[in-house]
Amino acid sequence: MDESIVLQAEHINKSFHDPVTIPVLKDVSLIIKKGEFVSVTGKSGCGKSTLLYILSTMDTDYEGDLYIGGQAMRGRTEKQLARVRNESIGFVFQFHYLLNEFTVLENVMLPGLKLGIHSEVEVKDLAMDRLNTLGIQSLAAKKADQLSGGEKQRVAIARALINSPSIVMCDEPTGNLDKKNSLVVFDIFKKLAEENKQTLLVVTHDQEFAKNTHRTIEMEDGRIIKQ
């Protein structure tokens, strides 16, 4: 297996049955390599978010094969898949899902504590390191509800990085942000990919954002038409 391949999908097919069968993904195959900053674009309803949920192992009802870090995801239990998600995948969504009653530092620490590999002190150090990387260490003691929208999304990115994932998957990460904050998030992703060799897969409607990533996968009607 090629060590540089972080994620590989082969002949993914997916249908919704409600009550008639509607194909949503049709024979989708792709490879994501280490340090790549890849965007997935296409009109609403083309299947890009559905694809992301399959690639992230959150949706297991599909045909085809998925490999993360060279390991087949087919036939794994939900507990095993949850472990893969926590160890290997960082998530950034359109909505940040921060817990308002916790501080920024505590929010970033959560996936690290859940993984259970490091002590609480070590997780705290890792969390501060991620906040430093994103230039928001000064927010560490603030409660999540005291932050601006742009700050919240940067905290969500720091949280996604806590367990040193092999890939960060993002679903419309700039969807709720204005142009200025969208650019800040883009610059963070670009820096992570180019300086830290962090692999990023971003579903986005934002053509300007997609145009500036290393590679754009275009989807139409459940198929990949360009990658």
pLDDT tens digits along 171-190? 988 888 888 888 888 988 99
pLDDT reading at 42 higher than 70: yes
- Containing structural domain, residue 85: 34-48+77-226
How far CA 46 is from CA of 24, 25, 27, 51, 204, in Å, comes to 8, 8, 13, 10, 12
The helix or strand, by DSSP H or E, that contains position 26, with its residue range, turns out to be strand 21-33
Strand ranges across the sheet with 63-68: 21-33, 5-17, 63-68, 71-72
Specify the number of domains making up the chain.
Answer: 1
pLDDT of residue 41: 92
pLDDT of residue 1: 56
110 located within any domain: yes
Question: Per-residue pLDDT averaged across 69-78, rounded?
Answer: 91
193 located within any domain: yes
Q: How confident is the model at residue 164 (pLDDT cuts 50, 70, 90)?
A: confident
Give the mean pLDDT of the chain: 90
9 located within any domain: no
pLDDT digits (tens, 9 = 90+) for 84-119: 988 899 988 877 788 888 999 999 998 888 878 888
57 located within any domain: no
16 located within any domain: no
CATH number at residue 119: 3.40.50.300
154 located within any domain: yes
166 located within any domain: yes
28 located within any domain: no
> What predicted TM-score, i.e. pTM, was given to this entire model?
0.90
Please report, rounded to a whole number, the percentage of residues in the chain having pLDDT higher than 70. Answer: 100
Please tell me the distance from the alpha carbon of residue 165 to that of residue 87, in angstroms, as a whole number.
6
Q: Are 68 and 7 in contact (CB under 8 A)?
A: yes
Question: Per-residue pLDDT averaged across 5-33, rounded?
Answer: 92
Question: Per-residue pLDDT averaged across 27-40, rounded?
Answer: 94
